[in-house]
Amino acid sequence: MQKYFTMNKARENKPHIGVFGRCNVGKSTLINKLVGQEISIVSSLAGTTTDAVKKTMEIKGIGAVVLIDTAGIDDTSELGKKRVEKAYEVFSQIDLAIIAFNNDFGNYENKLIDECKRLNIPYVLVYTKSDLLSIRKDLKATIEKTYNHKIIEFSQNNPKSVASLTKKLQNLIPPTSYQKKGILKGLIKENSVVLLVAPIDSAAPEGRLILPQVQLIRDVLDNNAIVIVVKETELEYALKNVYPNPDLVVTDSQVFDYVNKIVPNNISLTSFSIVLARLKGAFEEYVKGTPMLDKLKDGDRILMLESCAHQPTCEDIGRVKLPNMIKKYSQKSVEFDVVAGQSPFPREIKEYVMVIQCGGCVATEKQLHSRLLPIIEAKIPISNYGISIAYMSGIFQRATKMFVKK
């Protein structure tokens, strides 16, 4: 099965819990009981659930989470195989898995557990329909001994089942999936002044800022610091007439070179993409992989990864500006593939000499890790939009030195 999974095109920044199991095992009923309303169709007909069904709910002690109901993993029809692939793709989006089963626990469930272990995803084993037939004692003992996991016996007619499962979810879901990290933690303090450079071009959304810019503004305010936002065309004026010595300047990567020439060397400078890379945990891999830009050859192929789907324009950073910059920098005839949202990778990962990931503003650390893991395992160099641009602009050291461990 294809293991190179992609991101949800509109991934909400909430913990995601995937529910997996065979056809008619009771996944949809379980979700409906957890949520307290019928969001998934319940039927005795195999294949009722096709594409993943999502529902946001509140879990005490965690907050809002997204439950994902997936198709049965034992559907062997031609269409069913595609449904199973879609079900496995959900692993790249989730922070916790619920594996539902009946008394026929076997290879299908073992494969689900193996996938959880491979991606380091915590999981809950739930025996469903216990109101109809109790779990075999020998099966329960074998499973709990093999996987060192206590089984939750779930009955749709017993309210205590929902309480038991909810408590288990509370205990197992990684705190990092719902506890927010500070984007600029350790870089600024109370009353620091942060200047954000936000270009407005045809790729910018109408009437609003892009998500990384909004996230940085909020993070600065959460640190009881001061934020100034300007376009690159007003940067020089702001430094001369508004505040000449900010503690930190964060710019959009596409104007890195221009901003670098204006901001004095004694002022720390980086980009939105780079601070997000540092937040999401792949920073060291990006720094290690970026020098691959100096080794490109004619005919090499690079994969551009976007965490979200959007309407591309002639000024699109990942599809137009960055590829053109790489071609100019390397002086090589390089080919590019772009993957956004849930689109599958168009080629085997080994066909790429390099992968460049966007800032990942709509993804959590867990989703980025799951997405990049098979690439790292294949030893393909990876980089990040902002880090690549900084490298090719000759300001790689300046833009990253504040994050390098001494």
Residue 177 has pLDDT above 80, yes or no: no
Residue 210 has pLDDT above 90, yes or no: no
- Domains of the chain, CATH where assigned: 16-177 (3.40.50.300), 193-276 (3.40.50.11420), 282-397 (3.40.50.11410)
- Picking from 285, 318, 360, the residue whose alpha carbon sits closest to that of residue 326 is 318
- Which H helix or E strand runs over 34? helix 27-35
CA distances from 315 to 132, 134, 197, 199 (A): 59, 60, 17, 12
Identity of the highest mean pLDDT range in 32-36, 43-47, 152-156, 281-285: 152-156
Tokens linked to 45: 């007909």
Instruction: For residue 45, count CB atoms less than 10 angstroms from its CB and return exposed for 0-12, middle for 13-18, buried for 19 or more.
Output: exposed
SS3 111: helix
CA distances from 302 to 35, 42, 105, 259, 357 (A): 42, 44, 42, 27, 11
Residue 49 has pLDDT above 60, yes or no: no
254 Cβ neighbours under 8 A, 6+ residues apart: 199, 317, 321, 389
Confidence of residue 9 (pLDDT cuts 50, 70, 90): very low
Q: What is the model's pLDDT at position 6? A: 37
120 sits in the region (left: phi over 0; alpha: psi -120 to 50; else beta) called left
- pLDDT tens for 321-358 read 899 999 999 999 999 999 876 567 889 999 999 999 98
- Which H helix or E strand runs over 373? helix 365-377
Q: Which residue has the higher pLDDT, 259 or 92?
A: 259
Q: What is the model's pLDDT at position 315? A: 61
Residue 191 has pLDDT above 60, yes or no: yes
Q: What is the model's pLDDT at position 42? A: 43
Residue 237 has pLDDT above 80, yes or no: yes
Q: What is the model's pLDDT at position 44? A: 45
Instruction: For residue 2, count CB atoms less than 10 angstroms from its CB and return exposed for 0-12, middle for 13-18, buried for 19 or more.
Output: exposed
Q: What is the model's pLDDT at position 38? A: 54
HSE (CB half, 13 Å, CA atoms) of 281?
14
> How far is residue 52's CA from residue 50's CA, in Å, rounded to a whole number?
6
Residue 41 has pLDDT above 50, yes or no: no
- Which H helix or E strand runs over 278? helix 272-280
- pLDDT tens for 358-400 read 877 777 777 788 788 889 999 999 999 989 999 999 999 999 8
Contact yes or no for 100/135 (Cβ under 8 A): no
Confidence of residue 281 (pLDDT cuts 50, 70, 90): low
Confidence of residue 4 (pLDDT cuts 50, 70, 90): very low
Of 70-79, 196-205, 244-253, the poorest mean pLDDT is in 196-205
Q: What is the model's pLDDT at position 10? A: 38
**188 alpha-carbon distance from chain centroid:** 25
Residue 13 has pLDDT above 80, yes or no: no
- pLDDT tens for 96-150 read 999 999 999 999 999 999 999 988 899 999 999 888 889 999 999 999 999 999 9
> How far is residue 198's CA from residue 272's CA, in Å, rounded to a whole number?
10
Provide the strand spans (E) within 239-310: 248-251, 268-271, 301-306
Instruction: Calculate the CA dihedral of residues 76, 77, 78, 81 and round it to 10 degrees.
Output: -40
